[in-house]
Amino acid sequence: MPKARPQQESTTTTTLPSPDTEIIPLGTGSSTPSKHRNVSATLIRIPSLNSSYLLDCGEGTLGQLRRALGPQQTSSVLSTLRLIVISHLHADHHLGTLSLLLARDSLSNSLPPPPPLSISCISRYRNMLRELSQAHNFAFHTLLFPNCPPTSPRDVDHAPAALLHPSSSLASVTRIPVPTAGAPTPPTSAYPPA
């Protein structure tokens, strides 16, 4: 006699709070950009929130945006960009930021102006961007750095909503500290308290 089949569990389908969310890998190559495999960058677009987020910004990211989306959609992404996360300071994760900032700044004459842009990074990267702003015309003074606020003596691993601009629509940004050669291991947990 055949065994009875177990009853199938009922499945519940839930949708994202913003079901129009898109995740677009712009680069999955390592260290060397090319036309077909750019270095690290992932775009998250949420049109219903009029928001875009970029996880890493390797060299050539702006070109990949233009190839993937065309000039009009690229301008739309730049004008709705709320946050760039720089995971670490290897060049293939951040060298595209300057060209992206310059392109975004060229939209500053448009109406409405782009929302405030936050960059989640360590203070060394913020300082590098400050120096670059002296040679390149982008609005450094309008950028927000939630993980390395000027009032904090050290970088912040967990930036709650209070450190983010309200237009970011984010609850927090958490960075996992990665010790570099010769640097002491950070003493605190990167995760927010439960």
Amino acid at 67: R
Ordered by start, the domain boundaries in the chain are 22-171
**pLDDT on residue 4:** 56
Neighbours of 119 (CB within 10 A): 22
What is the pLDDT tens value at each position of the chain, 194 positions in all? 555 555 555 555 555 567 788 888 887 766 666 666 777 889 999 988 889 999 999 888 999 999 999 999 999 999 999 999 998 888 888 999 999 999 999 887 776 777 889 999 989 999 999 999 999 988 899 999 999 877 777 788 888 888 888 888 888 888 877 666 655 555 444 445 44
pTM across the whole model: 0.79
**pLDDT on residue 182:** 58
b/e per residue, 70-89, with b = 16+ CB within 10 A?
A: eeeebbbbbbbbbbbbbbbe
d(CA 94, CA 55): 10
d(CA 25, CA 148): 27
Per-residue pLDDT tens for 92-107? 889 999 999 999 998 8
Domain spanning 22-171, CATH architecture: 4-Layer Sandwich (3.60)
Contact 88, 137 (CB under 8 A): no
User: Among 144, 149, 60, 75, which Cα is nearest to 114's?
Assistant: 75
